[in-house]
Structure 1
Amino acid sequence: GVSITDNGRNILDVNTALESILGLSRSDLLNGKHGNRKYPRSNGTEMQAEEFPSVRALKEKGSIQSSEMGIIKEDGSIVWTDVSAIALPFSDGQVVITTKDITESKKAEEKLQTLANAVESSDDAILTRSLDGIITSWNRGAEQIYGYFAEEILGKNISILEPENLKGEIKQFDERIKQGERIRHHETLRLKKDSTIIDISITLSPVFDASGKLVAISTVSRDITERKRAEEALIRSENKFRTLAENSPDLIARFDRQTIHLYANHAYLELYGHSQEEIIGKTNSELGMDPEKVKFWEKHYKDIFTTGKPETMEFQYTSPQGKEYYFNTRIVPEFVDGKVSSVLAISRDITERKMAEEAMEKMEKIRIKEIHHRIKNNLQVISSLLSLEAERFSDTKMLEAFRESQNRVTSMALIHEELYKGAEIDTLDFAAYLRKLTADLFGSYNIRKDNISVRLDLEQVYLEMDIAIPLGIIVNELVSNALKHAFPAGRGGEIHINLCKTGTFASRYDISCPNPYYTEKNNFNYILTVADNGKGIPEEIDFQNADSLGLQLVNILVEQIDGCIGLKRNHGTELSIWFSDTET
């Protein structure tokens, strides 16, 4: 575009080409509508009026050639131009301005510069060589990978990078490129400046001139030495793993996220009766595993894929031949790029250990039962000795004391007898024990059943020995006390013993623990009540601070089992003991 301006920068004339470049009509330009536009430099700063080529040409009374400047159009877009200006002599300040639109070439230059910057900053080695192998370009990535600076290598033949055992490989590649082939991601070896041989992946591309003639070859090389070392280490590790796994007696299998078998060792295949071909690529469900067991394993695998944490468990397996196995299984996650990609299940046969443990447990039960048996025998011997010793005395009080001692020993001996005979070694059916204990007590005092009777309302309750022994002595004392004192001068009556859980008792009798503080504190589970309809304990006797050895024992033993005791005196005597088993 061409325009003529006066010494005030007013446009005197303009051609249509400049109208198109500026996006303004001839009349707009002649009327100065372009005057408020901005003119940026290449670096983005605004060009001042004194820097305009027309102003400079007028000032110097000469010409200004090829000055690059931008023009911001009304729509905000920038037109890049190459402007020349010449001051016309003898014209009183007129200047002829020639404006050439270079926007497209400017964009092309920017793209080329961006590409050049990308090439220069790339970690890959990017180089160009002529068809006869002379290196003509060499980026910073090539310097880092091969160790040569650009000034050292430019003009040298590319064969300088070939190891001795691969001499001629580059020429073969060049011939293939000349034949129109492309070579992509080919892995080979190259020689660094310090004579170190490295693994690289190369991509070769032809370079054509404007006429389409092949003039050079571009090479992009990536150093894959570390990756190759990692792959080789992984292969060695995998081979070592397979060697160990195949010779291990443990069952080893690998599963992916869909619980598909990726690997199974010889021991695994042998136990489940499958070959590698049958099992690889299939899930447990597809192999016919019981659906419940499939759910069991899939749950554990899913948890490990989610949490990334290993799990250990024991499981039982029955072979098709009916043989039972016990396994201890450790399932561990395997990570790839920080994510769980598979799980490895390692199962150790612990059948012999489990059988040994069961045998030891049986032996321990037998040993403990034998101990109970011997304790019971020893207590019976003590009871017999007390009986023999009592024969030496005629005093009624002394004989009564011996009998009470015998009954206490018998109450303990009965517990050990029940533990010896029962299926359990540390808990006993306390209801069955109470039936035997009361029968023995009635026999000890020679009580006629038609005179004084006993009524037993007993739930089946299993108690540990630490609770059962003191509770047995408590019942012994309370029943003995009732037999001795509740029914004087041949008076008849009934002794009632109730044993039940606290919930049953409360619903049956609509009462709660006599001491709410203890109920809240200890959360009692059971209540034992011993009642009679005899004459009752006199009001003046404080049963918790009585002189009687029997009542003193009762209070001490209730405290020992962390229980509480309550007394009702109406219609006889009713003593209730609230307690919990040690397990609860």
Structure 2
Amino acid sequence: MDMAQNTQSIRTRFTSGLIGAISILIFLFSCVFIGYGIKAVETQLQKQLNTINSFSQKSLSIALWQYNYDYIENYLESLFLYEDVVYAGVLDGVLSSSTLITQKTVPDFHGKTLEFFLNSDRYITSEISLGYNDEEIGVLQVVLSRSRVMKLVLVVAVASIFVLILVNLAIFGITYSLSSRYLFRPLRKLENSVKSIAAGNMHHPIDASDKGEIGQLAISFQHMMENLQKMTASRDELNQEVSARKKSEQRISRLNDLNERLLGKESFGNKAVMITQSVVELLYADFCRIWLLQEGDLCTSSCLFKQTCYGDMPVTKKTRCLQLVASSGRYTHVDGVHARVPLGSYKIGQIGSGDLKSFITNDVTSDERIHDRKWAEELGLVSFCGVRLQGLEAETVGVIAMFSQHALPANDQELFHNLAATASDVIQTKLAEEELLVSEKKFRNFFINAEVGMFRANLSDGLMIEANEQMATIFGYDTIAACVELCSLTRHFVELADSPDIFTKSLTQKGSFSGQNFEIKTHNGEKKWIDFSAVIAQSQVHFEGVVIDVTEKKLAEEQLKESLAEKEILFKEVHHRVKNNMQIIQSLLSLQSSQVKDDYYAKLLVDSNNRIKSMALIHEILYQADDIANFDLKSYFERIIANLDRIYRLPDTIISTKITVLSVNLDIDLAIACGLILNELVTNSFKYGFANRSTGQLSVTLTKQGSQFCFIISDDGPGLSDKQDLLTSDSLGLKIVRLLVQGQLKGSISVKQSPGMTIEISFGDRSSALDYQ
């Protein structure tokens, strides 16, 4: 009963699945065919509409222009020769304001207007403007029906349903017949055989006569039965394998336990013993030992190898040797003959020196590399295994070796190498801890004895966690303990005492402070200045840093600032007095010039007065400047030119002046020299360059490139005559220019005369060498 039901269920699911798959395919094909047909009909309708519109533009426009309404009526009647046209109308005028002339519809839509068709997606509507001689004279309205599209969809849908029914009936009949013959009957036979085997009849025959997949399945069942019989016959072998696996699991468990214990806080000696003991227990070794490469400690006393080694292998490296640190099994002591083994001697020393990467033998009584083979024979030893222990950079850190009374198979050798790797890790950890202890001791000594304050504090409240003696002294505590117990770092800052959160937030945002100066109030009430540097620790809850007492430095800086301020006032007063003295000289020269009747000598006095004025101006600018080291050179030049303009320029003459000073900071002596040169050359321009002219242009430029200054004065006057030479002229003003350039500026001068006159002076930054006279 169950078998029949199962067979029927499989047959039903198989047939239903096949029918469903083919139905989906037919449905998809029908959808594609319908879509393609719809697209083709739509394309044909659009072509018809385009043809109508194109022809109407040519023929109907002329008839409408000539008011030939009969032709229009006949034309609209002709449009209905297209089977899809259901409405056509012609309007007079433009599209926005037109009047219906005539319209035609098929009988089914008699009396319908264009608005009826516009509201339905079953029609294609078109309105085109009709024009004649570039003038819009009417509108043609055409409506095409999509009824052919709907008919096509209906026909294809009916045909698809009919084909679907026929195909499904055919599939059902063929599938039922073939599946019964080739699938379900052989399956029923195979099921009966399986039930018999499941009941315990291991020799029940399985019918494999079928040539199809069911026959292949029956053959597979036959092979499975044969294998099952073989497995039943090898239960003892399976038990042995299970036992071996249990042994391996026990080893793994003990190795895991060993690794956990090695992660504990045991001393290195105890951890080394754990490893040798594990080798003895897991590999059934007779004994196991570990040697560690260390500095020689018995080289001059009781070392067996202090002069020579065994046989013809002399000891060449006496400063370091392999020292026995752990032993388990037959021997547990770490002293005796093999407590120290030189590198290169015996098999242990050769492994440690790298001459032998490892040493494995399963015949110690016959292997010539074994030193005392008789001793090994007496103890019944069979195998030996020794491996070099390596550090982080593959250097030798020690050797592990074992003897056993049975041969070591490959898997035991691999296990021993794994234990050796574990021993290497333990030794590396020990060496790293020793280095860390040395480093911590050095840091602790540096921390305690540092000449600057060093600390570690909580980031949240600034409470001190750790401090050195200098830190306690700076903050006014008698002892380090008192500093750690009482000090809240941020509350000592004068500016932050009432709002310590500002410091915490600022440090958290920046991550660190470097060289910040703060005023603090010490524990005993004294005020100090400190240089403060700090950084947030890796824990993100502490910060640590360095504090330097800069109180004396701060006081010295304040005194220096006061001294500089006093000197600046003094310099300004000196410049003020020099300027006043020069004004007195100017006044005397002015009085003297008013008494001189000869115009020539009067002009000489005026020129001399202008020269003194140019020198006095620089002192006036200096004592008025906020920073006498960086005075306004451009303003100095402008005032010199303004003074000369007031004296020499004729009332009807307009002089345009351009002054350019780029990135220049001159020493006062150089500035005075440039001012005197400017005074002489601009005076010359006013006297001769702009004489008898209504306009003129004057340009002054001072720039610096590298260490060279370039001073250019130019005008658009007539320049020097052919007989005049600036470099050899006897004019006092030009002599002064040459003396200033060559003697004080230590520079060179050149003259260009096209157009006007341009004088270019080049000089270096020689302010320290000037000898102002």
TM range (shorter): 0.3 to 0.5
More strand by share: 1
Identify the structure with bigger relative contact order (alpha carbons < 8 Å, sequence gap 6+).
1
Q: TM-score by structure 1 length?
A: 0.45
More helix by share: 2
Name which one, 1 or 2, has greater alpha-carbon Rg.
Answer: 2
Q: TM-score by structure 2 length?
A: 0.35
